[in-house]
Structure 1
Amino acid sequence: MSKHNDYTLKRELKGRHVLMIALGGVIGTGLFLGTSVTIHEAGPGGALAAYLFGGLVMYLTMLCLGELAVAIPDVGSYQTYATRFISPSAGYVIGWIAWLNWAVTVGLELLSVSLLMQRWFPDVSTWIWCVVFAALLFTINALSSKSFGEVEFWFASIKVLTIIVFIVFGGAAMFGFLHMKGSAAPFLSNYSGHGGLFPNGFVAILTTMIVVNFSFQGTELVGITAGESEDPEKTIPKAINNTVWRILVFFGLAVFVLAGLFPWENADKVESPFVVVFDKIGIPYAADIMNFVIITAVLSVANSGLYATSRMLWSMSSNGMIPKFFGKVNKRGVPINALIVSMLVGCLSLLSGIVAKSTVYLWLTSIAGFGAVIVWASIALSNLLARKKFLAEGGNVRDLKFRTPFYPIVPILALFFNVAVIVSLAFIPDQRMALYCGIPFMVACYLVYKFYAKRRMNLNKMEASKAVFNLREKAE
């Protein structure tokens, strides 16, 4: 286990924790609130195709991550792999862009949950709820990695149960087994009529595919949990395989039912399709139940994001990329300074969502979305180069506990698809801001590495080699 200062990170995450952390990082407001917009933009068949393609890209990327995470279970995960197998400068950039991605996400999710609480407490200011839930999430993460994993397990369980209930009841209503108030069972009429499966053409699929791809971000948290998992050789492969097919089933069936129940022309007018379906079926207090579920979904993503940011800073500190201050671990095995700083930055990005929504808020969200795809691309490239290096050094593929299948086809495809998503941003006006913000941020990170961090890392290596030399002298 990696060590920093007097204490170490602890392997306290069980298999069920790792599985639900991966699920929890993905299933959020994008599914519960954003699917109606996707259906409206791409049509019923287009939305389904976009989600299935996004799921394929996710699956290919997670297979690449699986080989790396089992061979090198490290909390720095994709940042560590990029440093080792691409270049130290790439690792430095990936570390910061991944950290900012999740730090901003924490702030945005806190803002979302405070707005959702307005349904029940309209007279309470949103900032009060932001403070309350920020304190709650900080406490959960500060106690131990086990407490984080346990809370995330139950958060994610609520979301998964809700999706299963929706698929069963919504599917029954779609095919006439349950009556929906004010409407007859549509069966497959919304797929065959209203302009067909692809009423807005294939270009619309490309546009929504980018948003869909972003909504799948979060499964890569499996790599970070590997460093604190009890038995990564068993839990990581199992978590990746189970997470991928469950997410594909949940997203695929949920989108299929939603697109079947609502005509695509009117889908964007439905603020929360899950609420409408439950309400029409006759489930009492449907809106309040779904509001609670969405709140848990939002808190789950923020909880995972806070965990990811603190571990990323700790890893970068351990590698000498940033000051040792961020590597301090308390007796509970929590990188407390990294956690505090990540929480504070998350709250600062939350303020930008209120004060400078048209400028800073947009920049941060654009960098976060851009960074998510960059991280996935780096995972594929790291796997490609890591296996190549392993074989060049005389390694035997059979010695790998988890192997990316059909190498090098899988990592090449994963890299190609992720890069294609990044390039396509340039051709979609609404998405170009991601490139305008993301590329300058990456260049800035590289310049900081070149003129500051690189020198710092070299000094740390020199100190480490001196320490080894002194130990040998004393032994002699």
Structure 2
Amino acid sequence: MNDSNKKLQRNLTNRHIQLIAIGGAIGTGLFMGSGKTINLAGPSILLVYTIIGFILFFVMRAMGELLLSNLKYKSFVDFVSDLLGPMAGFFMGWTYWFCWIVTGSADLIAISGYVEYLFPGMIAPWIPAFVCILFFLCLNLLTVKLFGETEFWFAIIKILAIISLIAIGIFFIIYRFTPPSGVTTSLSNIWNDGGFFPTGFAGFVAGFQIAAFAFVGVELVGTTAAETNNPEKTLPKAINAIPIRIILFYVLALAVIMSVMPWRTINPDKSPFIVLFSFAGITSAFNITYFVVLTSAASSANSGIFSTSRMLYGLSLNQKAPKAFKKLSKASVPAWGLTFSCICLLPSVLLLYFGNENVMHAFTLVTTVATVLFVFVWSMILFAYISFRKKRPELHQKSKYKVPGGLFSIYISLIFFLLLIISFWFKEDTKQALTYTPLWFIILGMCYLIIPKKIKQQWIKSFKNNL
């Protein structure tokens, strides 16, 4: 069989999909960024994570209904192309690819920073980033099942770390532990100092700006549709568990942290996970937590390499990317797409030759750009669902996996994303990202315009043949 005629294999099992979904819902921001979000928003950060989590639950439900309406859809780019047109699919596919290139670059920079914390002065900062690129390239080239296994164990590490923190915190609350701050552990510490909104509306909004990046990757299960065994069962199960995971991994964990450490005593530059484990007398808390954060960043980078290669594969099938990207290896993985994406991650290695200030500035900028682009991706999924309801009402009626609240939930979610983008304008670093991000869409628009009309007509024909 010719390489180009092979198809992606459904080798991801239920446990792989469930843990990939959990891994996507637990961002590195929870471990390292929670101190900063608590400092900005105070206890209202609990509401921030809850709101974002449930909005993204509606996005995921919309994505789930669309993917299950036609099992020939390989990812959400397929239903966007089908329902909103080839131009929308072109913008969606390449933007999602760029999202993960940007996010992966940020993760690699972060990984190098974490290794430096663990082994100060022992390893040149570019080496961990370069090694990660090579390792994940080799790993993903072998078989999709290996990707699933890797993400499974990465997610297990994150889950165990969070459950351990919650268990230690509950123990402290029950036995009214008194940490070095001198304030006895109690649930009332959450609201005792200034109430639930101590930093006002501005602080509450600032929490959204940072917390949104923690959810990047929650849509990852949508890129595994073509390689998921029994998608009618596994996809709904993974999506339906999102609200429970948000409450457990974000809300409960942060509530425990603020019960043990009053929110004003939390250092925004340090991980509260490290501090809380230290209170428990775990002397190696520093190394343990940084190991967890390291695996979390590695998980995100690995997911990015996986998803970008699948995006390139889907775009190539529909003639929106070079033909080489649709060729599959003997292991039925898009080898050329994987290699190209990894090459595009190499500039992050070069960034590590610059001073710390430049790297940290670049890290802040690229993560914010990624958040803005992911908001675009999430919004496109919702617009595709609105089109689905208009164009395919019969399929919606047959669906056993309808969006709760229907179109009302979809419109509320779109309004939320609009307000989120507007809020980015009122903070200097996020405002800078908003200024740069349109350049990507201008570049895409120029590329689309120079593509001959004949090729665009072939896109439609090719897409219909693949569905």
Change (3 A) 1:192 1:416: closer
Tell me the equivalent position of 1:131. 130
Contact 2:365 2:430 in 1 (8 A): no
Contact 2:14 2:234 in 1 (8 A): yes
Q: Does 47-56 or 167-176 show the bigger shift? A: 167-176
Which of 52, 55, 61 aligns to 1:54? It is: 52
Tell me the equivalent position of 1:72. 70
Contact 1:181 1:281 in 2 (8 A): no
Contact 1:188 1:260 in 2 (8 A): yes
- How far apart are 1:184 and its partner, in Å? 5.0
* Local SS of the residue matching 1:34: helix
Deviations 1:13-60, CA, capped at 9 Å, x for gaps: 01111111122123232000111111110111x111111111121111
- How far apart are 1:299 and its partner, in Å? 0.9
How far apart in 1 are the matches of 2:284 and 2:361?
Answer: 38
Deviations 1:321-353, CA, capped at 9 Å, x for gaps: 111011111110110000001111122234336
- How far apart are 1:458 and its partner, in Å? 2.3
Tell me the equivalent position of 1:100. 98
* Local SS of the residue matching 1:5: helix
Contact 2:3 2:329 in 1 (8 A): no
Contact 1:190 1:260 in 2 (8 A): yes
* Local SS of the residue matching 1:220: helix
Tell me the equivalent position of 2:11. 12
Contact 1:104 1:345 in 2 (8 A): no
Which of 379, 382, 385 aligns to 1:383? It is: 385
- How far apart are 1:166 and its partner, in Å? 0.6
Q: Does 290-299 or 306-315 show the bigger shift? A: 290-299
Tell me the equivalent position of 2:173. 174
Contact 1:353 1:361 in 2 (8 A): no
Contact 1:74 1:223 in 2 (8 A): no
1:380-419 correspondence to structure 2 within 5 Å: 380-391=382-393, 395-419=394-418
Change (3 A) 1:74 1:368: farther
Deviations 1:400-426, CA, capped at 9 Å, x for gaps: 242222221122222221222123323
Contact 2:126 2:349 in 1 (8 A): no
* Local SS of the residue matching 2:18: helix
Query: Aligned partner of 2:68: which letter?
Result: V
1:65-214 correspondence to structure 2 within 5 Å: 65-73=63-71, 77-122=75-120, 123-176=122-175, 180=179, 183=182, 185-214=184-213
Query: Aligned partner of 2:18: which letter?
Result: L
* Local SS of the residue matching 2:392: helix
- How far apart are 1:4 and its partner, in Å? 6.5
1:224-303 correspondence to structure 2 within 5 Å: 224-269=223-268, 271-303=270-302
Structure 1: give runs of 5+ residues left out of the alignment: 469-476
* RMSD of equivalent CA atoms: 2.5
Deviations 1:93-143, CA, capped at 9 Å, x for gaps: 121221111112222212212221224433111222222222221122111
* Local SS of the residue matching 1:198: coil
- How far apart are 1:145 and its partner, in Å? 0.8
Change (3 A) 1:354 1:332: same
Change (3 A) 1:189 1:408: closer
How far apart in 2 are the matches of 1:116 and 1:358?
Answer: 13
Q: How many residues align?
A: 461
Contact 2:173 2:260 in 1 (8 A): yes
How far apart in 1 are the matches of 2:395 and 2:448?
Answer: 35
Structure 2: give runs of 5+ residues left out of the alignment: none
How far apart in 2 are the matches of 1:131 and 1:13?
Answer: 28
Contact 1:180 1:281 in 2 (8 A): no
In the alignment, is residue 29 of structure 1 matched against residue 28 of structure 2?
yes
- TM-score, normalising length: structure 2: 0.92
How far apart in 2 are the matches of 1:453 and 1:27?
Answer: 42
Q: Does 206-215 or 266-275 show the bigger shift? A: 266-275
Contact 2:91 2:444 in 1 (8 A): yes
Tell me the equivalent position of 1:222. 221
- TM-score, normalising length: structure 1: 0.90
Contact 1:173 1:180 in 2 (8 A): no
Change (3 A) 1:74 1:205: farther
How far apart in 1 are the matches of 2:186 and 2:360?
Answer: 42
Q: Does 175-184 or 143-152 show the bigger shift? A: 175-184
* Local SS of the residue matching 2:241: helix
Contact 1:181 1:282 in 2 (8 A): no
How far apart in 2 are the matches of 1:191 and 1:460?
Answer: 55
* Local SS of the residue matching 2:402: coil
* Local SS of the residue matching 2:266: helix
- How far apart are 1:261 and its partner, in Å? 2.3
How far apart in 1 are the matches of 2:73 and 2:135?
Answer: 23
Which of 57, 60, 63 aligns to 2:61? It is: 63
Contact 2:312 2:325 in 1 (8 A): yes
Query: Aligned partner of 1:282: which letter?
Result: G
How far apart in 1 are the matches of 2:73 and 2:335?
Answer: 15
Query: Aligned partner of 2:327: which letter?
Result: K
How far apart in 1 are the matches of 2:168 and 2:362?
Answer: 42
Tell me the equivalent position of 1:472. none
Contact 1:70 1:401 in 2 (8 A): no
Contact 2:105 2:345 in 1 (8 A): yes
How far apart in 1 are the matches of 2:460 and 2:185?
Answer: 66
Contact 2:67 2:73 in 1 (8 A): no
Query: Aligned partner of 1:50: which letter?
Result: V
Q: Does 173-182 or 144-153 show the bigger shift? A: 173-182
How far apart in 2 are the matches of 1:264 and 1:428?
Answer: 22
